[in-house]
Structures are given as structure tokens and as C-alpha cells.
Amino acid sequence: MTMSHEKGEGLGPSPVTPAGLPRLERRAIAVTLGQRASACQCARHINTNPRAGGAIGAGVSRAARGMLDRRRTPAAARASVPNRDNVHAERNRMRQGLPMKTPPARKLFAYWNDRRGSRLAPERGDIEPGAIRGILGDSFIITFDAAAGHPFRLAGTRVCALFGHELKGEPFVQRWDASTRALAAELVAIVADEAIAVVAGVSARTAEGSRADLELLLLPLYHRGKRHVRLLGVLAPLAVPYWLGAERVVGLTLGATRHLGPTVEAIAAPRLVRGDAAGRVRHGLTVYDGGLED
């Protein structure tokens, strides 16, 4: 190996020249020197002062600028900053209220909401069975008739399978346990009176003691311009019970109920108050005469 001294510098022996090294070591040195030279060239184009107006020169591409920004920003901070699409999605979710838990309830509510347009509720004739063919088995229609217990007019095959027999003509209210039967009847009346959509958690019980969690959706319908005629609904299990087909439901218990609309009310049981005979119903609101006089 060759050792040499620079004249007048007094710095001692110089490094070993690359020519005296094996080929593999010379290649490693060349790669290292090339990387350093590239880094120096990038540094000349970059202004590291974040307060300066031109943070990155014209020689650096937009992609390189993005890579530098990602390196400077911690991963946790990047993940915590929502983009504009996520912000709008969150606002829409809050405006629509809490999501329903079962696909049949979500699909029927979306279809019902689309068909009603600017009205409080769609007409019965606006509901096309073919448009909701996939969820007909979980759907039902009841007749608004408090004296008869709001009997089923139509009931899907999967709803009937829960109870082990055809439900057409049977009282909807009688499907509920005695502890929540009056609340279920009141819930039907509220949906018809106020023309609001309501979703509720339901616990189903079989004669053998098995249980399942269901979701109930009740939607108002106009029938020839009148509200107190038909109600559309869904009764679907959150998960298909293992005992389906071998056992049948003998009682339903009403759980938490919430109103689907601009605001969401989470309550243990229906507590909305129906208007009495003295009130006048206008556009879904009960107007009471009286108040301040001139």
C-alpha cells in the first residue's frame, strides 16, 4: 500500500488510496461517496428554516416535498389529523343519528327515506316490494287499530319463522311480554301520531328459555292521505339464533328506543307524550289553543 505526505500541510499520513484496495471495498467506497454527494446536492436546494417563505427550491419535486414532510411529522400526529372527507362523513353521521345495527333495518330506512322525499312519510302505494326484495323476509306491515292490538297485515317469512307460524291477522301488541306491552302499543301510536321513524332494541325469549337480540324499526306510512292506517317495519335478529326452526319466540321485551331524524333521543323506553283531544294536529305537531292574549 502507498503512503504519502502532502507538502507544507503537516497533517500526517494521508488515507490509503482506493487503487490499493480490493475491488469490493473500492465499490463500497464509491457508493458511500455517491450517496454523500447526492445528499449535499439536495441540501443546497432545501431551505430548512420553516419560517422562510420558500421552504423548498425549484429543483425539488412535489413528491420529494411530500416525503420530507412525512419524515418531519411523527406518524401519530399524521394519523390524528382528519382529512376533509372524513370531517364531512362524521358530520353526516351525526346529522343522521346513530347507525342501525342490522342490514335490513338500514336498507328499509334508506328506501323509505328516499321514497318520502320532502313529505313526512311516503304513501303506501310508493313502496314497491320489488325494490326491497332482499329484505322482505324481515319486513312487516301492521294495521293501525288500537282496539284490535294493531294486527299484522303482512309479515315476512323470516319474521314468521321467529314465532314458528304465520302472523297475518294476529295482534302485534300481543307478541310482547306483559311488562312492555303497553309501551309497545304506545310506540306504535307515537309513530303514527307524530310521523316519525323509530328504532328499538328488542330481546326475544323462547319457551325453552333461549334468547336472542333483535332490532325493531317502525316507519309511518300515508294511506290515501291518512297516517293512522298502516305502519311499515322490520324485525330482524342481530345474529341468526342457533335455535331458529327448533324453538319459537313466545315473548318480546322492548329495550332502548331512539328517534331517527335530525336529532337522536336515546331513552330506556318510549316517553313521548301523545296530544290529547284538545290539541289540533298540524304538520305532525300538536297545537294547543290558548296562551297570551292582547
For residue 205, the surrounding DSSP H or E stretch is: strand 197-206
Q: Could you tell me how many helices (H) and strands (E) the chain has, helices first? A: 7, 9
Q: How far apart are CA 147 and CA 172, in angstroms?
A: 12
The reported pLDDT for the residue numbered 133 is: 94
Please provide residue 67's backbone torsions phi and psi, each rounded to the nearest 5 degrees: -65, -40
pLDDT string in tens for the chain (294-residue length): 444 444 444 444 444 455 555 555 555 555 555 555 554 554 444 444 444 444 444 444 554 555 445 544 454 444 444 444 444 444 333 334 447 999 999 999 999 999 998 899 999 999 999 999 999 999 999 999 999 999 999 999 999 999 999 999 999 999 999 999 999 999 999 999 999 999 999 999 999 999 999 999 999 999 888 889 999 999 999 999 999 999 999 999 999 999 886 433 333 334 444 545 455 554 445 555 555 444
225: left (phi over 0), alpha (psi -120 to 50) or beta: left
Give me the sheet containing 249-260, strands edge to edge.
Answer: 152-155, 139-143, 230-237, 211-220, 197-206, 249-260, 266-267
Domain boundaries in the chain?
Answer: 18-80, 100-280
The reported pLDDT for the residue numbered 122 is: 93
- Contacts of residue 140, defined as CB under 8 A and 6 or more positions apart, other chains included, come to 152, 154, 155, 156, 159, 167, 232, 233, 234, 235
Using a 10 angstrom Cβ sphere, with 0-12 exposed, 13-18 middle and 19 or more buried, the burial of residue 140 is buried
**Percent above pLDDT 70 for the chain:** 55
Contact indicator for 208, 248 with CB cutoff of 8 Å: no
Give CA angle at 25 (23, 31), nearest 5°: 105
The reported pLDDT for the residue numbered 261 is: 60
The reported pLDDT for the residue numbered 110 is: 94
The reported pLDDT for the residue numbered 65 is: 52
Q: What is the pLDDT of residues 103-151, one digit of tens each?
A: 999 999 999 999 998 899 999 999 999 999 999 999 999 999 999 999 9
The reported pLDDT for the residue numbered 270 is: 42
The reported pLDDT for the residue numbered 35 is: 55
Give CA angle at 157 (152, 162), nearest 5°: 80
Q: Given this structure, which CATH class describes domain 100-280?
A: alpha beta
The reported pLDDT for the residue numbered 38 is: 53
Q: How far apart are CA 108 and CA 118, in angstroms?
A: 17
pTM exceeds 0.85 for this model: no
Contact indicator for 187, 201 with CB cutoff of 8 Å: no
- Contacts of residue 52, defined as CB under 8 A and 6 or more positions apart, other chains included, come to none
